Amino acid sequence: MDRKTLFPLLFAALFSGAAAPLAGQDAPLPPLKEAAKGKFLIGTAVNDWQMAHPDAPEARLISRHFNAIVAENCMKCQSIHPEEDRYDFRAADRVVRFGEENGMFVVGHCLIWHSQLAPWFCKDESGQPVSAEVLRRRMKEHIQTVVSRYRGRVKGWDVVNEALLEDGSYRRTPFYEILGEEFIPLAFRYAHEADPEAELYYNDYGMDVPGRRDAVVRLIRQLKSQGIRIDAVGMQGHMDLDYPTLERFEQSIRAFAAEGVKVMVTEWDMSALPFVTHSANISDTAAYRRGIDPYPDGLPDSVSRRWNGRMRQFYDLFVRHADVITRVNVWGLSDKDSWKNNFPVHGRHDYPLLFDRSLQPKPFVRRLLEEAAAGK
Q: Does 208 bind ligand G3I (CB under 6 A)?
A: no
Return the closest-CA partner of residue 60 out of 12, 4, 5: 12
What separation, in Å, do the N-terminal and C-terminal C-alpha atoms of the chain show? 37
Identify the active-site residue in 58, 72, 199, 267: 267
Q: Find the shortest distance in angstroms from Cβ 78 to ligand G3I.
A: 8
Identify the active-site residue in 72, 162, 193, 197: 162
* Calpha distance 109→59 (Å, rounded): 19
Q: Does 72 bind ligand G3I (CB under 6 A)?
A: yes
Q: Are 288 and 348 in contact (CB under 8 A)?
A: yes
Q: Does 236 bind ligand G3I (CB under 6 A)?
A: yes
Quick one: which segment of 11-19, 68-76, 146-154, 224-232 binds ligand G3I (CB under 6 A)? 68-76
Q: Are 231 and 261 in contact (CB under 8 A)?
A: yes
Q: Is 144 left (phi over 0), alpha (psi -120 to 50) or beta?
A: alpha
* Calpha distance 200→217 (Å, rounded): 15
Q: Find the shortest distance in angstroms from Cβ 154 to ligand G3I.
A: 16
Please list, in sequence order, all residues whose beta carbon lies within 8 angstroms of the beta carbon of residue 310, skipping any fewer than 6 positions away. 239, 241, 270
Complex with ligand G3I: residue 209 or 368, whichever CB lies closer: 209
Residues 5-64 that bind ligand G3I (CB under 6 A): none
Complex with ligand G3I: residue 16 or 116, whichever CB lies closer: 116
Q: Does 280 bind ligand G3I (CB under 6 A)?
A: yes
Q: Minimal CB distance to ligand G3I: which residue?
A: 339
Return the closest-CA partner of residue 50 out of 59, 41, 42, 38: 59
* Calpha distance 94→82 (Å, rounded): 18
DSSP state, residue 258? T
Q: Find the shortest distance in angstroms from Cβ 76 to ligand G3I.
A: 6
Quick one: which segment of 69-77, 240-248, 298-306, 312-320 binds ligand G3I (CB under 6 A)? 69-77
Concerning whether 267 is annotated as a catalytic residue, the answer is yes
Q: Position 114: which residue type?
A: H
Q: Does 279 bind ligand G3I (CB under 6 A)?
A: no
Concerning whether 162 is annotated as a catalytic residue, the answer is yes
Q: Does 240 bind ligand G3I (CB under 6 A)?
A: no
Q: How many CB atoms lie within 10 A of CB 26?
A: 5
Q: Find the shortest distance in angstroms from Cβ 9 to ligand G3I.
A: 34
CA geometry: angle at 372 spanning 339 and 250, to 5°?
Answer: 55
> Is 76 in a helix, a strand, or coil?
coil
Q: How many CB atoms lie within 10 A of CB 179?
A: 20
Complex with ligand G3I: residue 273 or 280, whichever CB lies closer: 280
Quick one: which segment of 71-79, 175-183, 219-227, 352-360 binds ligand G3I (CB under 6 A)? 71-79
Q: Does 73 bind ligand G3I (CB under 6 A)?
A: yes
Q: Find the shortest distance in angstroms from Cβ 79 to ligand G3I.
A: 8
Q: Does 116 bind ligand G3I (CB under 6 A)?
A: yes
- Please give the positions annotated as active site: 162, 267
Footprint of ligand G3I on this chain (CB under 6 A)? 72-73, 76, 115-116, 161, 205, 236, 267, 280, 282, 339
